[in-house]
Structure 1
Amino acid sequence: MILTVIGLILLAIGAVCDLLGAIGIHRFNTFYLRLHAATVGTVGGKFYPLLGVAFIAAEQGLWPVVGISVLAALLVLVTTPVGSHALAYAASKARIVEMELDEFRGEEDV
């Protein structure tokens, strides 16, 4: 019973993270802020619900579902920041969006 409650709480946290990420994408005006909001929405909105599903499945004895959910959660936790960093780096290199301080080009803040 307690694992189901914890799982439902994690599912609710994931829904809130998805909602906040969507609001952030809509409200923020620069590429990098929108990328940050999308990353927060993706990590929080996918990682926590997958752990919630694992807790609910563990209480019901569905161990293959637990394993797959935990593995998928770890995969999301590792790959999402890497993808966001790659997008930000590519946008900086292509100079699609100009930055005030570009550390990739070696400029110093004076």
Structure 2
Amino acid sequence: MHILPIAVGLAVVTVGTFFEVVAALGMIRLRSFFLRLHAATMGCVGGSILPLLGLALIALGLESVGVERLYVAGTCVASAIILLILAPSGAHSLARAAYMTRVAPRHPLEFDALEERLKGGGR
């Protein structure tokens, strides 16, 4: 059993927990739909990917588990990569759909560059 990968893995899981708590507070405290969506996405990226990578490190540090530790670590890393790709793109699609259909209010917005581009004023 190697102590260093397990200790680093536990630290990464702890940082991921911090991201999840901050994202939960952001979901409660923020008023705008787009700000809440940002908090949820950061919670997904930081609160899901970091614990998965930490679990992969912990699994690699446990030699007593045998070859199954490689399967667990590989699954965690593959899941983290998929989440890293899909979470921001899903949030972007949701935000763009809410923006285009005007479902979410845009009241804190001072300058709307996308609106200018849609009207033909931009490039």
TM score, norm. by length of structure 1: 0.92
Q: Please name the residue that 1:79 is paired with.
A: 86
Is structure 2 residue 93 aligned with structure 1 residue 93?
no
Stretches of structure 2 that go unaligned for 5 or more consecutive residues are 64-68
Q: 2:114 is aligned with what amino acid?
A: E
Q: Matched residue of 2:45: which SS?
A: helix
Decide which of 4, 7, 10 is 1:8's aligned counterpart. Answer: 10
The alignment covers a number of residue pairs equal to 108
Q: Please name the residue that 2:35 is paired with.
A: 33
TM-aligned CA deviation for residue 98 of structure 1: 3.7
Q: Matched residue of 2:114: which SS?
A: coil
Write the distance in 1 (CA, Å) between the matches of 2:27 and 2:113.
23
Bigger drift between 55-64 and 84-93 goes to 55-64
Q: Please name the residue that 2:66 is paired with.
A: none
Q: 1:30 is aligned with what amino acid?
A: S
Q: Please name the residue that 1:103 is paired with.
A: 114
TM score, norm. by length of structure 2: 0.82
Is structure 2 residue 56 aligned with structure 1 residue 70?
no
Decide which of 56, 61, 67 is 1:54's aligned counterpart. Answer: 56
Rg larger in structure: 2
Q: Which runs of 4+ in 1 moved over 3 A?
A: none
Write the distance in 2 (CA, Å) between the matches of 1:7 and 1:98.
41
Write the distance in 1 (CA, Å) between the matches of 2:32 and 2:99.
13
Q: 2:75 is aligned with what amino acid?
A: I
Write the distance in 2 (CA, Å) between the matches of 1:18 and 1:98.
26
Q: CA-atom RMSD, angstroms?
A: 1.5
